[in-house]
Amino acid sequence: MNSILPEQYQIEKQFYSRVDNFLSRHEIGKILRRSNFQKEKGFSCLELFKFIFLLVFKGKNLYRTLQSEAEPGRPEKDTIYRFLNSFRYNWRKFLLILSSSVINETIEPLTSRNWKNVLVLDDSLYSRNRSKAVELLARVKDHVENKYVRGFRMLTLGWSDGNTFLPVAFSLLSSENERNRLCGIDPRIDKRTTGYKRRVESIKKSTEVMFDLLRQAREYGVQTRYLLFDSWFAFPSIICRVREQHLLHVICMLKSMKRVLYTYKGEKVTLDTLYKELLKKPGKAKILASALVQIGIDSEGNPVPARIVFIRDRNRSKKWLALLSTDLELTDEEIIRIYGKRWSIEVFFKTTKSFLNLAREFQGRTYDSMVAHTTIVFCRYIMLALENRESKDPRTLGDLFYVCCDELQDISFAEAFQLLLAMLKNTLRKFLAITDGALQELVNNFISCLPSFLKGRLKLSPCES
C-alpha cells in the first residue's frame, strides 16, 4: 500500500537529515570528546546533545517534553540534568573548536582573500529576573530599560565576513562587585575543574574577560585583522592594549566623555572640542569631518595614532556620531562600511532570544547548566547560519526557524491522520468481506468528503491513498 503523504514524510526526513548532516559533517561527537565530554554508560554525550538541540524545533521546552509520556529511546530527566550540570565538560573549548572549523573549512573558502573579515565584541542582557537561587545571580544594568534586573551580562565574541555571523566564545558575567551578587559560587565545585575557572572568570571585569576571549580565539585559529565594538569598550587604554597584544586594528564607536582626551595638533582635547575645531563639509554630507589624533602611548613609548571620523546622525540631523579606526590606510568610507558589520551581532542576540529560546527553554540553577544551554543555543544558530549561507536562501534566520518548526508540526498532524486512516482500513478488512478495489473506492470517497482546509494542509487527493 502506497503512503498517503509521501511528500510530507519526505519533509521530516529532509529536516532530520540536515541536522544529522550538520552533526556528522562537523564531527560534533569528536569535538565533544576533545572537550572532555565522557560518559561511562547509558546515552552518549552526542545523543543527549542532539536531544536538547532539537527541542526548540519541536515547539516544546525541556519541562513539557519530560512531562509528556515516555517515548522509546528518550533519555530521562536525571540523565539530561546530569549532562547539563557537569562542571567537568569544557563548553568553551567545544564552541571554539566548532566555530573555528566552520570558519576555516566552510566559510572562508567561499570568500575572497582580500575580503575584510572582522571580530565583533558586545554584551547583552541574560535575564533571570524571576530567579532567586541561581548560582552567581547578580543585579545587572539593563541599558534598554535603564534599570537594574536580575541576571547576567553575556559577553560574546563573534566572527563575521559581512554576510554570515558565527559566535566564537562567550562568558556569562556576574558582577565584580560582591554587593551586587545575590548568590555566590557553589563551595562543592572542585577548584581544579573547568567549571570553577569559568565561575572565577564571571566575577572579573568585562575588559579583562574580553582579552581572555581574544587570546583563546587566536589560539584556536580564528584570524582577522579588525576588532569591532561599540562605545562601551572604547577607551584609549583598551584600544592601545588590543593593538599591542593582539595585533588587531580597532574600529569602534566613540562617545564624548570629559575625562577621555585625544591629542590633536599637540593639544589634549575632548571629542566635543575636537569636533568644534574641525572644518565641516558643506551641505548635507554624510561624512562631516575627520582627523588624525594620538590616543595613547604603547609599552615601548611609541605614540598610537588613530583616525576619528565624524558622520551625520540620521536620527538627529543636528547631532553627529564619531567612529575611530587605528588603521590609517582606510578611507573614511571604508571605516564606515567595515563598522557596519558590527550590526550582525545585534541580529544574533535578537535571533537567539526571540527564536532559539536563549534563557527561556529551562530554568537551571547551576552556572554550568546555563553555560551548557547557551552553548547549545549558539550551535543552533551556527546550523541556521550555514543553511542560510550555503543554500543562498533569501529568508532571514528567523524565517528559516519558523519553516523548520512548521514542517515538524505539520508532520505530527499528518502522521496522526495517516495512523487513523490505516486503522480504518484494517478495521474494514476485519469485519467486512470487501475487495481491495472496493476498499480503495471507499477510502477515496472518504477523502473527497473531507473539508478543503484539511485537504490543503495535508495535500491530499483521492488518488494518493
pLDDT at 5 exceeding the cut of 50: no
- pLDDT for 207-218, tens place per residue? 999 999 999 999
Q: What is the pLDDT of residue 464?
A: 45
Residue 277 lies in a domain: yes
pLDDT tens for residues 399-419? 556 556 554 454 455 556 666
Structurally, how many domains does the chain consist of?
Answer: 1
Higher pLDDT, 116 or 69: 116
Task: Band the pLDDT of 393: cuts 50, 70, 90.
Answer: very low
Q: 207 lies in a domain? A: no
Share of the chain above pLDDT 70, in %: 86
pLDDT at 424: 74
Residue-wise pLDDT tens digits, 104-150: 999 888 777 778 999 999 999 999 999 999 999 999 998 888 899 99
Inform me whether the pLDDT recorded for 363 exceeds 60. yes
Q: What is the pLDDT of residue 101?
A: 97
The greatest distance separating any two alpha carbons of the chain, rounded to the nearest whole angstrom, comes to 103
Q: What is the pLDDT of residue 127?
A: 94
Task: Classify residue 301: in a domain, yes or no.
Answer: yes
Average pLDDT over residues 186-206: 96
Q: Is residue 264 part of a domain?
A: yes
Q: Is the pLDDT of residue 309 over 80?
A: yes
Decide which of 244 and 425 is more confident. 244
Average pLDDT, stretch 150-155?
97
Tell me whether residue 269 is in a domain.
yes
Mean pLDDT, residues 57-69 taken together:
76
**For helices 367-390 and 343-354, angle between their N-to-C axes, nearest 10 degrees:** 110
Residue 67 has pLDDT above 80, yes or no: no
- In this structure, what DSSP letter does residue 109 have? G
**Does a structural domain hold residue 18?**
no
Given a contact cutoff of 8 angstroms between Cβ atoms, the answer to whether 171 and 202 are in contact is: yes
pLDDT score of 211: 96
Determine, yes or no, domain membership for 252. yes
Q: Report the mean per-residue pLDDT for the chain.
A: 87
Give the DSSP letter string of 112-144: -TTS--EEEEEEEEEE-TT-SS-TT-EEEEETT
* DSSP per position, 313-374: -TTSTT-EEEEEES-TTS-HHHHHHHHGGGHHHHHHHHHHHHTS-TTTS----SHHHHHHHH
- Sort residue 146 into left (φ over 0), alpha (ψ -120 to 50) or beta: left
Sign of the alpha-carbon torsion through 395, 401, 404, 408: negative
Position 4 confidence tier, pLDDT thresholds 50, 70, 90: very low
Residue 315 lies inside a defined structural domain of this protein? yes
pLDDT exceeds 60 at position 310: yes
pLDDT: which is higher, 314 or 253: 253
Q: Return the pLDDT at 392.
A: 60
Q: Which domain holds residue 254?
A: 241-326
CB atoms within 10 A of CB 448: 11
Query: What pLDDT was estimated at residue 434?
Result: 77
**Is the per-residue pLDDT at 299 higher than 90?**
no
pLDDT digits (tens, 9 = 90+) for 336-356: 999 999 999 999 999 999 999
Q: Which residue has the cell 529532509?
A: 14
- In this prediction, residue 360 has a pLDDT band, given cuts at 50, 70 and 90, of confident
